[in-house]
Amino acid sequence: MQWMEIKIVFDAAEPELAQEMVSYLVMEHGAEGLEMTTPGETGMVQDGSGSSVPDSKEHSVTAFLPLDDLFEGRKADLTRALDDLKGSVLTDYSVHFSKQDDQPWETAWKAHFHPIEIGESLVIKPSWEDYENPEKRMLIELDPGMAFGTGTHPTTAVCLEMIETECLKKAPERFLDVGTGSGILMIGAYKLGARKVFGCDNDMDALEAAAKNLKGNQVHEGDFGLWLGDLLAGIVEGAFDMVAANITAEANVMLIPGLPRIMAPGSIFIASGIMAEKKDLVLEALDACRFSVERVQETGGWVGIAARMP
């Protein structure tokens, strides 16, 4: 497999926020092996040989896209998404491409993935790390492969917190995660009491990682379902009483009109992956479908929204 290294060098008034958002966008567009640099600091991720990335003079995010049939489409979508950030989050940016034959970054991210406590009752623990668990939190043990969803990203953490809040009120019978990635939200919902958990993704690698993680977290084979598809395409059976989607604001806007078909009356929808300045797009889409917004939570420039079906 050949890969294209994509390095995005940028200027921004709030570089940390910009780094978060650019990283999210590249992951969202199927990139792997994320590496970030900040002027005067060593890279946040080490290369595959274990040696440190040299000091940088610029803010940058580097990641790798597989050079397959989807490459040109992903590149065009990513460029459009970066252009959308220019003038708001990014003052300026440039993208540099370089073809690669191997993947030295494949395990490098592991160095930066440690146990992380979420909300009142969950902890996400890398499968290779120990955790003493003094508060007797429910464990989500993950080896996410390269699929998005380690809990370290604010969009995942906000979404899990909102799922926890709703599950403590009433755990769902049927939970659906649109864009499941590593399966982390499905596992969280199951541990918090959901009876059956379902997830879809348009990336086959994510589904393989999710299946492995679900089984590794004792989600019984008969209690979960996964499928490959774009948003709700392929869902024939409805009546989900909790739906979560940590996808972009634009993808949430496309998803929302389809939700009334598959959600039970009075059920809850949790939207995440929304940049703060795009929050209104999602709120308008929810309003158009007569959802009532119950909670809007903002963390580090990202917004989660919990809204109830009429």
Ligand X SMILES: C[S@@+](CC[C@H](N)C(=O)[O-])C[C@H]1O[C@@H](n2cnc3c(N)ncnc32)[C@H](O)[C@@H]1O
Q: Which chain residues interact with ligand X by CB under 6 A?
A: 28, 147-149, 155-156, 159, 177, 179-181, 184-185, 200-203, 206, 230-231, 246-247, 251, 273
Residue count of the chain: 310
Residues in contact with 102: Cβ distance below 8 Å, sequence separation at least 6, in sequence order: 3
User: Is 179 assigned to a binding site?
Assistant: yes
Minimum Å gap between C-beta 180 and ligand X is 5
SS3 content of the chain, % helix, strand, coil (to 5): 35, 30, 35
Q: Amino acid identity of 48? A: G
Minimum Å gap between C-beta 79 and ligand X is 17
- In the complex with ligand X, the residue whose CB is nearer, 90 or 270, is 270
User: Is 62 assigned to a binding site?
Assistant: no
User: Is 156 assigned to a binding site?
Assistant: yes
What sign does the CA torsion over 89, 94, 98, 104 have? negative
- In the complex with ligand X, the residue whose CB is nearer, 90 or 253, is 253
Minimum Å gap between C-beta 197 and ligand X is 12
User: Is 213 assigned to a binding site?
Assistant: no
Minimum Å gap between C-beta 226 and ligand X is 11
Minimum Å gap between C-beta 228 and ligand X is 9
- In the complex with ligand X, the residue whose CB is nearer, 46 or 151, is 151
- In the complex with ligand X, the residue whose CB is nearer, 245 or 283, is 245
- In the complex with ligand X, the residue whose CB is nearer, 226 or 231, is 231
Minimum Å gap between C-beta 58 and ligand X is 26
Rounded Cα distance, 106 and 48, in Å: 7
- In the complex with ligand X, the residue whose CB is nearer, 46 or 243, is 243
Contact call for residues 273 and 302 (beta carbons, < 8 A): yes
- In the complex with ligand X, the residue whose CB is nearer, 68 or 230, is 230
Contact call for residues 200 and 234 (beta carbons, < 8 A): yes
- Give 90-93's long-range contacts (Cβ < 8 A, gap of 24+): 90/10, 90/11, 90/12, 90/18, 90/22, 91/10, 91/11, 91/12, 91/13, 92/10, 92/11, 93/8, 93/9, 93/10, 93/11, 93/22
Contact call for residues 17 and 59 (beta carbons, < 8 A): no
In the three-class reduction of DSSP (H, G, I as helix; E, B as strand; rest coil), residue 139 is classed as strand
Read off the DSSP letter of residue 218: T
Task: Look at residues 163, 116, 119 and name the one whose alpha carbon lies nearest to residue 295.
Answer: 163
What sign does the CA torsion over 101, 107, 112, 113 have? positive
Q: Amino acid identity of 117? A: E
Read off the DSSP letter of residue 271: E
User: Binding site residues for S-adenosyl-L-methionine, as ranges?
Assistant: 156, 179, 201, 246
User: Binding site residues, as ranges?
Assistant: 156, 179, 201, 246
